[in-house]
Structures are given as structure tokens and as C-alpha cells.
Amino acid sequence: MELTLECGVEQLPGVGAARAAHLERLGLRTVGDLLRCFPRAYEDRRRMANLSNAPPDLPVCICAMTAEAPRLTLIRKGLELVKLRVVDDSGAAWITFFNQSYTKNALRVGEQYVFYGKVEGPPGRRTMTNPVFEPVGRARFTGRIMPVYALTKGVSNHLLAGLTARCVEACAGQLPECLPDGLRQAYHLASAEYACRNIHFPADEEALALARRRLSFEELFCLSCGLTLLRRRREHQPGPVFAPAPPEEFEALLPFPLTGAQRRVMEDVAADTASGGLMNRLIQGDVGSGKTMAAAHGAWLAARSGFQTALMAPTELLAEQHVRSLAPLLAPAGVRVGLLTGSVKGKARKALYAALEAGELDLVVGTHALLSEGVAFHRLGLVVADEQHRFGVAQRAALAAKAGTSPHVLVMSATPIPRTLALIIYGDLEVSVMDQLPPGRVPVETFIIGADKRARLYGFIRKVVEQGRQVYLVCPAVDEAQEDDGLPPPGALLDPSGWQVPPAAGRKAAAPYAAQLQREIFPDLRVGLVHGRMKGADKDAVMSAFAAGELDLLVSTTVIEVGVDVPNAALMVVENAECFGLSQLHQLRGRVGRGRHQSYCVLVTGSRNPESRARLKTLAGTTDGFQIAQEDLKLRGPGDFFGSRQHGLPQLAMADLAGDSRLLAQAQQAAKELLEADPDLSWPKHRLLLERVRALFAENPEIFN
């Protein structure tokens, strides 16, 4: 039968219903899916060696004969061991397989196999552990660069590679070429067929590099095209009109004068919302730059023209804090503020829904609860998303959909995203930068200390508290049993050694730590505990107590990472600092130094790893969020930004945004040129490109509405 890209996987030889179901779990339904499922790494099976000259630490192909029947031993429940002796011209070795009991029958005495893996141990005691193998003579993958795919239970790499090889042979030539010829020539890009063949089964390193470049370019180019189309569509959409209002009137509501940067941002927002067009703006400002005031100003403008504002915060803590600070501020201007989080239940929730729908509230602050079914607005004019990188484009769109007509969108972020990434993440937004801190801030002093200096740290904490200040202590886990809360970034798959998830043991856990501090170290101080697994109301009670100065020490997990504002807090202690990303630590540090007191950040680490020490030193050396983010990106890869899909943008299979910034610039330039010539991709020769752009955004179709 003729194999085509649309054929289901069960039409491939050797794939029955069971295997098809396994493949489905990897999202592989058709031949086309298999071709678009790119390897996450490669094995160089061109390296041949024998049992005596095999280099240490480098996997190689060994051609050897099984000298005796494999023996299966059950070490204990859940640990099976198959052991066998192999020989070649140069010597002999023991091969051990753990939990692969099928090998006992798969390997026959006296037959020749190619084993791929590391040969370890001194001559005479050579061993191989869990090598992959194929019979000599029927070896399909020996002597070439072998793709390594992400796998799931029931799908081995050999199976997947075998299927992909078959699909590449039959169908690589059928792949549509979405990049126009002229563009491919101008940017020296390989063809779709060449890229497909060589990304799966590279002829050599150079072919792999060419394939990778083409596929990365394609993704970045299509992403740029899509975002440009999106932005253009928004530009032409009519938006609610907020009547201009004298800024002095807003400033008169505040206990302090605005900074120049705040004034500029507010002018941008006022101009956007008065224009008749739709605002779609990002406010990017480092922690503590006073972005909340811009949200307040927007809500004030909206309310004056009879529109409602929804302010979405990533956590209940933040939502509650916003209500606490904004409600009294805006009340004199007649702006009525409500709170909607998961903890607002029953009658209170019903009443809030009714008030919103009747237009009796002007500003509603909440979490994703704002997206719940019952929520309807009277006249929603503005959506503000605080710390948006935790909010998807999709959620924003869902909220917009509730309004019937599109509201203005204002996004606030303190995550200092490197510029190359910002272009991608916020490609469809206009950007205002709040590049000034309110006056009188004293820069936070940062120290790195070893875990063995704990006694001195406790002394320091006491001193800070005696001066009337408050202290945060952040831990990586809630309790001892908690597994790691963050998965390694996807880039880590390529280089497993580059990312070490620290063992759960030895990591400070907030709950027992708080109890210990209260009992043994600071019995006379008031110690509070807050973490993500507490009920909303309990969290709120603790946070309010801390904000009101009723607690001296607050032990927590990273729930306080984003946006929490207690100006009297002057010391941030981060336990197991090596467990956190640099940008995350910068965020945590931003929780102090918000008042007029000298503030401190102490990073406690037991790690002797020079790399993680160096990372922490970067943080101690600068308070520039952008520089830190850039460094973070270099060190950890873009996983922090792209590992989670919450931003709602397409998953990029190929492009590595940290490493490909030059390619990104080229792709953006190419997209710009192409769209200048053919603004809506309506030329026949761009049909396939338009399809590809649409497909890239297919999982978030609403983003195009």
C-alpha cells in the first residue's frame, strides 16, 4: 500500500492496536506526526571499537559474540538482573541488564551482536551495563548517527526509530515546502525534505546542522509571521473609548508623587484607551518599580467612562493584597472594588457575581476564578494581567470573550525577560518600560553563606528583628516528603548532566523549619508559616498578620515570590538557594528593599558545586534584572520561560531561543519583508506558509480571534 503523510500509524508494519495506543500517548497518530516528532538527542553509532581498546566514558559499538547463555537473577522484588559473558577478538566482558528480563531470551548463545554502550573497568574485568544491541547482519542502526526520541511506556527507541526510518523513506519527499523558494535561497535554508531526512537520520554532523537550522528558522519565521498578523488584526479592531482625564486628579489620590516612569506609562495607557483602537500593552518594570499604580490608573480611567476593569493576579495572596491597597486608594474617586478568588464562596460569591453583572462594581480583582462560568460583566472595558507570564494568552482571551466585545488589555510583568525572548513572548504587544524605582530606595545588599554559618545567620535575624524590621525565610519545599516542585527545563534532556535536581534530603522544608525555629531558636519571636498548600483564608490570615507587623518571621515557600509587598520587611533569607533559578531569586530579593530601610538578602547554600556558586555570585553582583535574566537564560536554557506552556504561545519543537538569537533576528527580518510584500499571506505561492502559520497556533486558535 502507498504510504502517505495522512496514514494512521497502525498502517505501518508491526504496529497493532496496542502499539498504536502507546504511540497515541506521545501524540503520534499519523505518519506526518512521526516525521514531525524530532529526536531530542543523537547517538553516534559510527564509533566502532573492540572490548580492549574501547575508550573510557564514551559509548561505542562493539561487535561481540555471546559466550554463554544469559542468566536471570531476581535480586529483590522490582530488581531483575540479566548477566552474560561476551567475547570478541580482543577480549571478553560481562554485560549486565537491569530490569530488562526480555534480554534473556533475545540474546542467543554463539550469535554475534553489536552492543552499543560504554565499556568500563580495567582489562580482564571489562563490563557493559544496559547496552542496546542488534544482531550483526540485521543491524539497522549501527554505523550511523542514531536518533534518540522522547519515549513512553511500551515504545522503545528502536521501535520508534524503525518506524520513523520507514516513514522517512516513504514520505519525506511528500512533505509540503512551506518556505517560498526565494526566501530559502536568500537565507540559505535546506529544503523540507532534506531537513526531514537529516533531522531523523543525519548523514553527518554538517547535514544535521543544516537540517536543524532550517527547522528552527521555519519555526521562528512562522511564529513571527503569526504574531505580526495577530498584532495587525488587533490594531484594526475598535476598542472602548475612555475619556481623557487630568493626571493630576489621579495623582491627588496617592500618598506620594508619581515617578517620571510611572507618568510616562500612564500617558501611554491614556493615549491607547482614548484612541478608539484596542490597547494591547505590556508594562515591563523591575520588581518594586510601582506597576500596580498603572493598573489603578487604568481602572480609574475606565470607571470614569462607565467601564469595568478586571485585574487578574497569579495568586490569591496577590489578589488580596491588591484589593487591600487599591480599595481605600480608589474609594474617594468613587471606584468600587471587589475580590474574586477561589476562597470567595457561597453567598458572598453569588452577591459578587450579581454586583458585577449589574455594574455595581468598577474594579474586580481576582485569580483565575475570574474565568469561572458564572462570571459575567456589565461593561468590561479593561483587563489587567499582573505578572502575566503565569497567565496564558488563552486565559486573557477567555476573559475578553466574557465581555462580548474586546476590552483593552494591559499586562504587567516584573520578570525581566531578555529582549530576544520578549520579542517572541510579547510579540503581539506594545511595550512600555518602567525603568525607574520610586525615590528613597536603598539597594538590597546580598550575601552568600554556607549552611554551616547558620548560627551567625540566626544572630543576624535577631538583630534585624530588634531594629523593628521583619524577615522572610524561603524554603524550596513545604515538608520533607515533598518531591521537587519544578521539573528540569526541557533543554536539560539534551544534557542530563547539566541539570541536577538536588536530592530531596537535606533541603529545608518550610513547615518543619518554621516549627523548629519557633521552638528552638526564636521562642520569643512571632514566627508565621505560609505555603501553597494552605487554604486561601488561612494564607490570607497569615499574610495579613505579617503585613500588619504582627509576625516577625515569615517562613514560606515561593508563594511569596511574585509581587508581595510589605515595606517593613528588610531581610530575605533563601534556604537551599542553589535550588532556585536566578530570576526567581531576583524576584524573591525584590520582596525586600521596598521601604526606606537598608535591606538584606542572604542566600544560604550547602552546595559546593562551583557552577552553582558562580550562579549565586552573579546575583550578589548586580541588581539589574535584565542582566540576571540574560545570565539565567545562558545557564539554564529557556526552560523557565518555555518549559511551561502557560504563556499560551506555540510550543517550539526545534528552536532554542537562548542559542538561536541570531537566527531569530534573521527570521524576524524575513517575516517583516515577506509581510510587507504580501500583508495577509494571500498570494497563491504563500498558501502553504499560511497553513503552517495557522497550524503553529492551532492549539490556541482563540489567539487569532
| Cβ proximity to ligand ADP, 507 vs 591, nearer residue | 591
Among 563, 638, 648, 650, binds Mg ion (CB under 5 A): 563
CA distance 552 to 466: 10
Q: Is 117 in the site for Mg ion (CB under 5 A)?
A: no
Part of the chain binding Mg ion (CB under 5 A), chosen from 73-81, 270-278, 561-569, 636-644: 561-569
C-alpha angle 628/629/635, rounded to 5°?
Answer: 90
Helix (H, G, I), strand (E, B) or coil at 572: strand
Residue with the closest Cβ to Mg ion?
Answer: 563
CA distance 409 to 568: 32
CA dihedral 618, 624, 626, 629 (to 10 degrees): 30
| Cβ proximity to Mg ion, 444 vs 517, nearer residue | 444
| Cβ proximity to Mg ion, 141 vs 426, nearer residue | 426
Q: Work out what residue 288 binds among Mg ion, ligand ADP, none; the CB cut-off runs from 5 to 8 Å by kind.
A: ligand ADP
Closest C-alpha among 588, 562, 579, 563 to residue 636: 579
Q: Work out what residue 64 binds among Mg ion, ligand ADP, none; the CB cut-off runs from 5 to 8 Å by kind.
A: none
Closest C-alpha among 553, 333, 550, 577 to residue 461: 553
Asked if 298 contacts 384 with a C-beta cutoff of 8 angstroms, the reply is yes
Give me the least distance between CB of 534 and ligand ADP, in Å please: 22
Give me the least distance between CB of 563 and Mg ion, in Å please: 4
Binding stretches for ligand ADP (CB under 6 A) = 256, 258-259, 262, 285, 287-293, 414, 438, 563, 565, 567, 594
Helix (H, G, I), strand (E, B) or coil at 221: helix
Give me the least distance between CB of 472 and ligand ADP, in Å please: 15
Residue 144: DSSP 8-state: S
Residue 277: DSSP 8-state: B
**Sign for the pseudo-dihedral over CA of 500, 505, 511, 515:** negative
Q: Which residues contact 693 (CB under 8 A, 6 or more apart)?
A: 222, 225, 226, 229, 681
Q: Work out what residue 478 binds among ligand ADP, Mg ion, none; the CB cut-off runs from 5 to 8 Å by kind.
A: none
| Cβ proximity to Mg ion, 309 vs 518, nearer residue | 309
Looking only at Cα atoms, what is the longest distance across the chain? 91
Residue 141: DSSP 8-state: S
Q: Work out what residue 285 binds among Mg ion, ligand ADP, none; the CB cut-off runs from 5 to 8 Å by kind.
A: ligand ADP
Helix (H, G, I), strand (E, B) or coil at 376: coil
Asked if 574 contacts 457 with a C-beta cutoff of 8 angstroms, the reply is no
| Cβ proximity to ligand ADP, 16 vs 440, nearer residue | 440
Part of the chain binding Mg ion (CB under 5 A), chosen from 47-55, 74-82, 453-461, 558-566: 558-566
Q: Work out what residue 102 binds among Mg ion, ligand ADP, none; the CB cut-off runs from 5 to 8 Å by kind.
A: none
Part of the chain binding Mg ion (CB under 5 A), chosen from 184-192, 200-208, 300-308, 555-563: 555-563
Element (DSSP H or E) covering residue 71: strand 71-76
Give me the least distance between CB of 386 and ligand ADP, in Å please: 7
Cell readout for 163 is: 518506524
Residue with the closest Cβ to ligand ADP?
Answer: 290
| Cβ proximity to ligand ADP, 102 vs 256, nearer residue | 256
Closest C-alpha among 482, 542, 544, 532 to residue 509: 482
What's the half-sphere exposure (Cβ side, CA atoms, 13 Å) at 117?
Answer: 20
Give me the least distance between CB of 428 and ligand ADP, in Å please: 22
Q: What is the DSSP string of 107-136?
A: S-TT-EEEEEE--BSSTTS-EEES-EEEET
How many positions of this chain bind Mg ion (CB under 5 A)? 1
Give me the least distance between CB of 286 and ligand ADP, in Å please: 7
At position 319, the amino acid (one-letter code) is A
Q: Work out what residue 281 binds among ligand ADP, Mg ion, none; the CB cut-off runs from 5 to 8 Å by kind.
A: none
Asked if 590 contacts 563 with a C-beta cutoff of 8 angstroms, the reply is no
Give me the least distance between CB of 313 and Mg ion, in Å please: 9
C-alpha angle 49/52/55, rounded to 5°?
Answer: 60
| Cβ proximity to ligand ADP, 416 vs 638, nearer residue | 416
CA distance 200 to 139: 17
Give me the least distance between CB of 438 and ligand ADP, in Å please: 3
Q: Work out what residue 290 binds among Mg ion, ligand ADP, none; the CB cut-off runs from 5 to 8 Å by kind.
A: ligand ADP
| Cβ proximity to ligand ADP, 383 vs 527, nearer residue | 383
Residue 576: DSSP 8-state: T
Give me the least distance between CB of 440 and ligand ADP, in Å please: 7
Give me the least distance between CB of 439 and ligand ADP, in Å please: 7
Part of the chain binding Mg ion (CB under 5 A), chosen from 388-396, 538-546, 559-567, 627-635: 559-567
Give me the least distance between CB of 291 and Mg ion, in Å please: 5
Q: Work out what residue 530 binds among Mg ion, ligand ADP, none; the CB cut-off runs from 5 to 8 Å by kind.
A: none
Q: Work out what residue 427 binds among Mg ion, ligand ADP, none; the CB cut-off runs from 5 to 8 Å by kind.
A: none
Binding site for Mg ion (CB under 5 A): 563
